[in-house]
Every structure is written in structure tokens, then in C-alpha cells.
Amino acid sequence: MVKKFRKKEGLSPIITTVLLIALTIAITAIVFLWFRGMVEEGVTKFGKNIKLVCDDVEFDASYSSGTLNIVNNGNVPIFKVNIKIARDGNYQTKDIKELSGGTSWPDTGLAQGGTFSGDIGSDIVNADSVSVLPVLIGTSARGKKTFICGGQYGKEIAL
Amino acid sequence: MSSRVQWNKKGLSLVIGYVLLIAISIVMSIIVYSWLKTYVPKETLKCPEGTSLFIKEIEYTCTPGKETLNVTVKNNGKFSINGYFIHVSNKSGEELPTIDISSRILVGGKISGNSIVFSESINYLTPDEPTNVRMSSFNVTGYGQLYKIEIIPIRIQEEDNKKRTVSCGDAKVEEVLTCYVECVPDDISVTCGTWTCGQRVNNCGNLVSCPPGCTEPDVCNSLGQCIPPAQCTDTCATYGYECGTWTICGVSTTCGSYGGGCQTGYECNIITGKCVALCGNGVINSGETCDDGNIASGDGCSSSCTIESGFVCSGEPSTCTTVSSCPSYCVSLGYTTGACTNSAGNCQNSGGVYQSGGDQWCTGGEHADTCCCTT
């Protein structure tokens, strides 16, 4: 009987194990840091991602004779609103507090049933359209953070 | 004779492999879970469908100094209601009322934050008789004339074993307010003040005689004081009377230079003694073809109360609307308003086919090159 033995020398099992463990730890650490960044960036409100909370925002907005009126009908407090003004093919978005008539916007926002009325007529002269976008405040790992709900949650007001 | 190759079986220990795999899986799962859990939709706190509140009655009194708003609401839905947010507007034509009057409640509830709650009992206003109706009264002095009211019902609901106030925006109700002015002849002291004689105009615009009046031979002067006739120097001008016959210094006196009347186109106001233009009083007088209650031109009824070109007016006060000059074939296609302009040979759209925005029948068709109407 002839018995053939292959050469057994190669990477030592110990080194292989150490390498594998080191590699695993490194990859895990990288993935962990990557995900942790995403988790920390995530803003939540009422235990939900704030993007989902935008779905629950209910408010009415109207404009007449230069006065913008807003009523929060829903159950999500509206921290601020942004006013998107379209003019001559361009548009700009302004914080309500940047507008001359927006200084009376309450610092704590509009709670349930809260109302706002301000004269913004001089800020939207010659505007083609004006939309009101709700801004919510939520919490993230880095503290309180505001979030502007997308255009689909805004309301275009008739000028 | 068979040859046999023997591999070195030694490698990563099975136990270490499993431990590593499990550890990695756990770590990854925790991270992914903590990231994704906020995306898991949770039940939203909102009023159940079928929550409905009905404004049964509104009584708005706008007598100066006594402005009150009585609101009677009825639970018209299937679920009990705890209270409401109440907003009013004091600008005519304002679509969205924003003045919160919850802090002005007099009776029929209590303030809770910026809302009114009907009772200490949770969700007091049940759908069932007789507890489904509630009247609340508000003092609305200082806001001026109110034009609109908005009520948003609220309920108390449980979430995570906590009671929370829920706004029922979908059940919001609005109503136009009509002012009821309470005249005060029954409270003459309000109108007369220190006057002891003569007549004053009350808050409803009516003349009120001030008691007790003068005893002869005294006469009443323009300040509401009883004085001897010899001391009275009042004339029509003292009172600002331009017309009419009035008792001045105890003597019946005809005022103005038209024998108590006014010049053509004016009439004498028997309350104020002033000549007021007939045009703009909302009544079609002789020589007028319309009267819309103002003397502005361009609204269909001119400053001289004649119907302006392109309008038709009817009623008192007159309501004027534009006359469509579009031919009937344009009107039949939806061009009910707007002017018909001659644009023959200057059309942009093809004719014969309905073109919203104009250029109707410009080229081709039965009425080719006639005109086009603008909406």
C-alpha cells in the first residue's frame, strides 16, 4: 500500500482564526459606526420617524387682504411654517419668522387648536403662488431637531 | 492498491465559528432594529369617524358694550365629545377664523388650555338625549363686529394608558355670524346721558326722547338742558339741520333753503336733518335705473345710479352682473362670460373645436373668422 501525504504546511490554524476574528471585528465595527450614524441622524417624534409624523399633520391656511391665517386642526404641534413663494419662474422658501408679519408666530409653535394670523402682504408682492409648509420639531441622538415636511404636506394658498 | 489523499482537517473551531456568527447576527440585528423601529407605523391618535358636532343655535348680540355670543352645540355623531376649540373672525370675507375666544367663556363650560370643556366628566356631551346639547356663552367685547365662527370638537382618548386630548379636525364646523343689535330705548340713560330734555339718536339710529323734559315756560336747548326761552340762541345750524321742520328753542322751525326739503336728487333724513343723496341709498328713486347702495362707478351701477354699459342690474339694492356679448354659439360651448372680440385672421387655435381659453370658431367651421370669446 502506498500512502500519499500532501504537504501540510500552510497558514497555521491559529493565525487563520486570529485573522478571521480580527476581520470580523473590523467589519462589525465599520458597519456599527455606519449604522450608528444613521440612527443618530434619525429624528423621531411620538416614537415615530418624523417623516411619518408629517402624515398626521392637519392644518388650514388661508390668505385674504394681505393676512395669512393658519389653524392647527390636528394633533401634531406645528413648530413653525415655511412659506414657499413662487415668483417669475423662481421660488424661494422663507421661515415665517423671516417675514415682516411673521414675528408674532408663537415661539412654542401652534399646539392643537392653535391659531396664527399675520400680515405678510408686503412679502409676497407679485407672487405667482404661495405654499405653506409645516415644520415639526423632533428629537434625535444629538438633541432637538426641526424637520420640514415635504411639499405634499403643504398647502397652497389662493392669492 | 488504492491511493488515499489525506487532507489536513484542522481549521477554525466549530464553536468559535458559531459564536462569531451569532455575535455578528445579534449586533447587526440590534442596530438594524433600532434604526428601523421608528419606521414601523404606529396607530395614530385621531378621532373616530362618526364624530360630529352641529351648531344648533347662535345668538350674537353686538350692542356696544354688551357684545355676547351664545353658542348651542349638539352632538350629532356616534361618539361622545369633551369640548371644543372655538375661533371667530372679525374681518369680513376672511375665510379662516383665528381669534381664540375660549378665554372669554361666561357660562356653559370651563377653559382647559385653549379649549372649552363642557364638564369635569370626561367626554360629557354624549350622542344621546338629553345630554347631547350644550349652550355656552362668551363675552366678545373688544373684538369689533364678528363675521364667522369655527368650532373644532375635541375628545379625550386613551393612548398607552394615558388620557389624551384629541382634536377632531375632520368634524370642524363653521357658521356665519349675523349681528343682532339690541336697541336701548328701554335704557334711556345710556343714550341720553346727562340730557334732561330733547331727543338723541340711540344705537339703533332711532330718536329717543330724554326725560323728564322741560316744564313751561322753559325750552330745551341743543345741549339737552332746560332754559328760559330768552336765553335760548339755538338755530338750525346749531343742530346741523339742513332740512326738515324741528322744534328749536320751543318754536317749530323749518330748516334749509328748500322749504324743509332738499335739492333735486337728495332727500331729507328725518333723524339727522341732513340732505342725503338718493343715489347710493339702495333704493331706486325717480331718475335712477339702478342703486347698488354705493356711488362707485365700474361696478355696473354708475355714480349717478344708471346702469353701465355691459351690465344688467336688478333688485334694491341693485345687483349688477356683466352681460355676455358672446354669440349664442359661443355661449352654448361654455363661454358664458367675457367679452367677444373681433379677431378674424388673428387666431391661434384651430376653429371648429372647443378650445378652452379662447379662439373659438376663429378658423374653419360654421362661424369661421367671425370672432373669438374669452372666458
Portion of chain B with pLDDT greater than 90, in percent: 29
Residues 103-122 in B contacting A (C-alpha not used; CB under 8 Å): 113-115
Residues 126-185 in B contacting A (C-alpha not used; CB under 8 Å): 150, 152, 154, 165-167, 169, 172
Domain B53-176, CATH 1.20.120 — does that match? no
- Closest CA–CA distance from residue B26 to any residue of chain A (Å): 11
Tell me the domain boundaries of chain B: 53-176, 184-233, 278-323, 324-375
pLDDT of residue B38: 78
Residues 40-69 in B contacting A (C-alpha not used; CB under 8 Å): 41-42, 44-46
Q: What is the pLDDT averaged over residues B190-216?
A: 85
What are the pLDDT digits (tens) for B237-291?
A: 999 999 999 989 989 999 998 888 898 888 898 888 989 888 888 888 888 889 8
pLDDT of residue B372: 47
Portion of chain B with pLDDT greater than 70, in percent: 81
Read off the pLDDT band of B334 (50, 70, 90). low
Residue B70 pLDDT > 90: yes
Give the number of other CB atoms < 10 A from CB of residue B118.
21
What are the pLDDT digits (tens) for A99-142?
A: 888 888 998 899 999 999 999 888 888 888 899 999 999 988 77
pTM of the model: 0.60
Distance CA B199, CA B215 (A): 16
Q: What is the pLDDT averaged over residues B210-233?
A: 91
On the 0-12 / 13-18 / 19+ scale of CB atoms within 10 A, A145 is middle
> Regarding predicted confidence, which is higher, B172 or B130?
B172
Strand intervals (E) in B62-109:
68-75, 83-89, 99-100, 105-107
Domain A45-157, CATH 3.10.310 — does that match? no
Q: Residue A118: enclosing H or E segment and its boundaries?
A: strand A115-119
Q: What is the pLDDT averaged over residues B166-185?
A: 84
State ipTM.
0.77
For B342-351, which contacts have Cβ atoms below 8 Å and span 24 or more sequence positions? B342/B370, B342/B371, B343/B371, B343/B372, B344/B369, B344/B370, B344/B371, B345/B369, B347/B372
Read off the pLDDT band of A32 (50, 70, 90). confident
Closest CA to B103 of B141, B133, B134: B141
pLDDT of residue B329: 58
Please report residues of B whose CB lies closer than 8 A to that of A69.
Answer: 89, 94-98
